[in-house]
Amino acid sequence: MSSSAEKSKYSFFESVSLYFDKAAKHTGLDQGLLDQIKSCNSVYKMQFPLQYEDRYEVIEAYRVQHSHHKLPCKGGIRYSSKVNQDEVMALAALMTYKCAIVDVPFGGGKGGVSISTKDHTKEQLERITRRYTVELIKKNFIGPGTDVPAPDYGTGAQEMSWIVDTYRTFYPNELNSHACVTGKPVVQGGIRGRTEATGLGVFYGTKEAVSYADDMEKLGLTTGLEGKTVVIQGLGNVGYWSAKFFHEAGAKIISIAEYNGSIYNPDGLDPDAVHEHRVSTGSIVDFPGSTTLEDRYEALEIECDILIPAALEQQIHMGNANNIKTKIICEAANGPITPEAEEILLSKGVMILPDMYLNAGGVTVSYFEWLKNLSHVRFGRIQKRFEENAYKGILNEVEKLTGRNIEADKKNLLGRGADEQDLVYSGLEETMVKAYQDIREVWRDDSNGIADLRTAAFYIAIMKVAKAYDQLGIFP
Ligand code: NAD
C-alpha cells in the first residue's frame, strides 16, 4: 500500500479541514466566520529555472499564508519531491492552529520546494534557496513583519543562513533583517536550543501527558516515561532529538524506522550511537546488536507503549491502523495519521497527542528567536551575572545562619544565573505544559461532547482565532 489514495480518501488539506469541522461543531460560531478561519488567505505558486552546465530544470515552489489574523505569518519550508499545493496548504493551516494553541502571536504559513535534496549538490541547493528567497521578496512574502519562514522536512540551519543572507542583500539597511527567518545558526542570529526545540517539545508534551494517573490507568500504564517502550519513525531533526530526550529520561527506544530500513532491539537502542552509525555507513541498518526488519514499515506495528511518527504525513492509514499495537501515539510529524486511521485507533482506545500541539516546540522557540532578533540582545545577557551574584549572596547568608557549608558542586549549581539555553528550555517547557493542561481540560470536560485530544486542541485554536477576528472586526 503506497499511493495517497490507498491510504486515505482525503487529501492532507481535506483531512485538516475535516478535523476542523469536527471541532467547529462544538463552538457555536457563525459558519461564515468558521469558513474564513478555515480557508487559506494567500497561496503563492511559483516556477523558476535552475541552470546546469548542459540543461535547465524548472523548479516548482510554494508559499502559503493561511491566516492573517496575526502577523507575521510563520511556518517552515519543506524540500521534498512530494511537495504539492495541497500539502503546503495543509501544513500552513496546521501552523495557524499550532500558534494559537501555544499562544505564539503569528498567523500560519508554510513553504515548499518540490525537489529531492538527495538529487542536488550543496551548490545547487544554495542556488535554489537563494532564488526561492528572491521570488518571496518580489511578492512581499517574506519579512520580519509579514512572513517569517523556518526549517521543516529537508531543510535546516544552512538553508536559513542562505535565506537571511539573500534577504540582507536586498534590504541592507533594514535594522531587523535577521528576523526575516528563524532556525538560523547561532552566529547568524539564531538562538541556542532551536535545533532541538521540536524534539524537546515532543518530550515535554509527552512527559506532561503521561503524568496523569487516571489517564494512564485507562491505558493500562503507570505514570512517567521511565521504562516505557518507544518506537520512532524517522531519525531526522525531530526524530533524533525526540529519541535522545526520551532515552535520557529512561524510556527504552526499541525500534527506529528510516526510509531505507528499520532496526529493532528489545533491550533498547542508544539514539546517539545509531545516529553515529548512520553518519559513518549511510544507513541505520546493521546497527550492532539490532535486528534489521524485513519491511521497514513493520516498525510501526511493533507492540510498544509509545509510537512516535517523526517523518512525514499519512504514515498510519486505513491499511495499517488495525495492526498498530501501541497505547500512545505522539504525532511529532505533521499529519502522520489519516482521518480513517484515527477513527480506528480512537475506537481501540489509543491516546493520540496531536501534531498541532505536540510539535509546536519548533515554532515556540522560533518565536523566541524572532524576539531575540528584534531586541538585538542575547537572552540572559543582561541579568545572568546579576542573578548569580544575588543567588551566591543568599547561599553565603544561608551558610552563615546555619553554620554549615553547602557542597561546592551544589553551590555552583544553585548559584548559577540563567543563560540563553536555560531560558529557552524553561520557556518551552512552560509553554508545552500550559498548553497541554488547557487541551486536557477541554478533553476531560464531560459537558461538551469532545472525546479526543485533537478535537479539544482544534476547539481551543478555533476559539482563539475567532476571538481575534471578533475583536479586530473585518476591514473595510
Ligand atoms: P528531516 O528532514 O530532518 O528528517 C526526516 C527524517 O525522516 C529523515 O531522516 C528521513 O530519511 C526520514 N524518512 C523519510 N521518509 C521516511 C519513511 N517513509 N520512513 C521512515 N523514515 C523516513 O525532517 P524534520 O524536520 O525532522 O521533519 C519531520 C516531520 O516533523 C515533518 O512532518 C515536519 O513537518 C515535522 N516538523 C518539523 C519541525 C522542525 O522544526 N524541523 C517542526 C514541526 C514539525
If you measure from the C-alpha of residue 155 to the centroid of ligand 1, how many angstroms do you get, rounded to a whole number?
10
Q: Cα(first)–Cα(last) distance of the chain, in Å? A: 50
**Residues 43-61: pLDDT tens digits?**
999 999 999 999 999 999 9
CA distance 437 to 422: 22
- Residue 6 has a pLDDT of 78
- Is residue 300's pLDDT more than 60? yes
Q: Please give the grid coordinates belonging to residue 2.
A: 503506497
Residues 93-144: tens digit of each pLDDT: 999 999 999 999 999 999 999 999 999 999 999 999 999 999 999 999 999 9
Contact 106, 371 (CB under 8 A): no
Distance CA 157, CA 53 (A): 28
Q: What is the DSSP string of 396-454?
A: HHHHHHHT-PPPHHHHHHHTPPP-HHHHHHHHHHHHHHHHHHHHHHHHH-TTS---SHH
Separation of CA 358 and ligand 1 centre (Å): 14
Residue 347 CB burial class (10 angstroms; 0-12, 13-18, ≥19) = exposed
The CA-based diameter of the chain, rounded to the nearest angstrom, is 81
pLDDT at 294 over 90: no
Q: Is 74 labeled as catalytic in the residue annotation?
A: no
Indicate if the pLDDT at residue 441 is higher than 50.
yes
Pairing of strands 107-113, 229-233: unpaired
> 238 CA to middle of ligand 1, Å?
6
Residue 356 has pLDDT above 60, yes or no: yes
Q: Helix, strand, or coil here: 71?
A: coil
Best residue for ligand 1 mutational test, from 98, 160, 238, 277 (most atoms within 8 Å of Cβ): 238
Residue owning the nearest CA to atom 11 of ligand 1: 259
Q: Does residue 40 surpass a pLDDT of 50?
A: yes
What's the pLDDT tens digit per position in 140-165?
A: 999 999 999 999 999 999 999 999 99
Distance CA 402, CA 397 (A): 9
Query: Tell me, what's the pLDDT at 253?
Result: 98
CA of 314 to the centre of ligand 1 (A): 13
Bridge partners of 230, per DSSP, are 253, 306
Confidence tier at 1 by pLDDT (50, 70, 90): very low
> Can you tell me the distance from the alpha carbon of 329 to that of 363, in angstroms, rounded to the nearest whole number?
21
**Closest residue to atom 42 of ligand 1, CA basis:** 362
Name the nearest CA neighbour of 37 among 70, 66, 15.
66
Nearest-5° angle of CA 206, CA 359, CA 303? 50
Mutation test residue for ligand 1: of 152, 278, 301, the one with most atoms within 8 Å of CB: 152
- Contacts of the segment 211-214: beta carbons below 8 A, 24+ positions apart: 212/440
Statement: residue 341 has pLDDT above 50: yes
The pTM score is 0.96
Q: What is the pLDDT of residue 261?
A: 95
pLDDT value at position 3?
61
SS3 per residue for 46-59? EEEEEECCCCEEEE
In ligand 1, which atom is closest to the CA atom of 315? Answer: 18
Helix (H) or strand (E) holding 167: helix 157-170
Question: In the predicted model, what is the mean pLDDT of residues 434-449?
Answer: 97
224: pLDDT strictly greater than 60: yes
Ligand 1 pocket member 362 (CB < 6 A): yes
